[in-house]
Amino acid sequence: MVGFYAVGVLKDGSRTFVAMGRKEVERIRDGSRGYQAAKKYKKESTWDTDFVAMGLKTAIRRICKFLPKSPELATALAMDEQAGRQNLNLDDVINGSYTPVVDKDTGEIVDVADGGKTGNSNAATSTKLEKLEKIVAALRDANSVEALDEIYIRAEGDLDDANLEIAMREYRKCKDAISNSLI
């Protein structure tokens, strides 16, 4: 198994996709609390018994972030994504109340799971921004849909979710521009 992909077809007939390499899926698996607990207690997890199905699920969850969705689904996905890091209790989840913890001094969102440390350091943020800028520039320089696809697929492993969404928007703009110039 080399990797996983998911394709979404939008109402207007356009397609969007996500491709994830095996190492990226394994990195997500290794961060899974269920998988970590199973390994800690020397039990088998779904990742061990059905790796392919879990890899597909991971790709599908990734593409869902880029598809149009109702406000209720968007809230559910955001809560699901943040549940492990925010240490939400069951009542908060059932009631649908989710409020990120914000540092009053800096205004940054605090990650409760890491002991209250604020988000990324300035150097890490700067590096992520530089990567995103290079990827966006490469997308804008691409002269074919195939080149766009290649750039985007390679970029997926290098970007976090927020920057990946920005890259996806730029990918779509560039793809539309290339497609319109071919007509």
pLDDT at site 12: 79
DSSP string, 19-81: EEEHHHHHHHHHH-HHHHHHHHTT---HHHH-HHHHHHHHHHHHHHTTS---HHHHHHHHHHH
Q: Are 47 and 32 in contact (CB under 8 A)?
A: yes
Give CA–CA dist 155/14, Å, rounded.
Answer: 21
- 57 closest CA partner among 88, 40, 35: 35
Identify whether 23 is part of a domain: no
pLDDT at site 84: 59
Copy the structure tokens of residue 60. 């599908």
Cβ neighbours around 105 below 10 Å, total: 7
Number of domains in the chain: 1
Identify whether 87 is part of a domain: no
pLDDT, one tens digit per residue, over 124-134 is: 667 888 888 88
Identify whether 55 is part of a domain: no
pLDDT at site 4: 96
pLDDT at site 150: 80
Identify whether 128 is part of a domain: yes
Identify whether 78 is part of a domain: no
**β strands within 53-165, DSSP E:** none
pLDDT-flagged residues of the chain (< 70):
71, 74, 77-125, 183
pLDDT, one tens digit per residue, over 156-177 is: 777 777 788 888 888 888 988 8
Boundaries of domain holding 135: 120-183
φ, ψ dihedrals at 110, nearest 5°: -95, 135
pLDDT, one tens digit per residue, over 73-93 is: 767 766 666 655 555 555 665
Pairing, β 3-9 against β 15-21 = antiparallel
Identify whether 99 is part of a domain: no
What's this model's pTM, rounded to 2 decimal places? 0.45
pLDDT at site 183: 62
pLDDT at site 19: 94
pLDDT at site 64: 85
pLDDT at site 46: 92
pLDDT at site 67: 82
